[in-house]
Amino acid sequence: MSANDYVKYVTQQIVKYMDTPKEARKQQREERKNVETTSTFYSNRWFGVLPFSLKLMMNKRKK
């Protein structure tokens, strides 16, 4: 990716951001916050799928 392509991409993203209404941006921000606060998000983000698979195995054994 050349520098010109990168500048073009960043410019497009900024224009897209500025064209969206303020309320829509605020709502998107709130939705992202709600999704990111789940515990599965953090375990997958920091440690990958391994904790999730171990959790599934432990739950399966308990049943």
Number of structural domains the chain divides into? 1
pLDDT in tens, 1-39: 788 999 999 999 999 999 999 999 999 988 888 775 555
Helices (H), the chain: 3-19, 22-36, 39-47, 50-62
Domain that holds residue 10: 3-62
Q: Which amino acid, 5?
A: D
The better pLDDT of the pair 23, 45 is held by: 23
Q: 39 vs 46, which has greater pLDDT? A: 46
Q: What backbone torsions phi and psi does residue 45 show, to the nearest 5 degrees?
A: -70, -45
Token pair of 7 as six digits? 């500048």
Give the global pTM: 0.46
pLDDT, residue 13, reads: 94
- Could you tell me if 9 and 17 are in contact, meaning their C-beta atoms sit under 8 angstroms apart? no
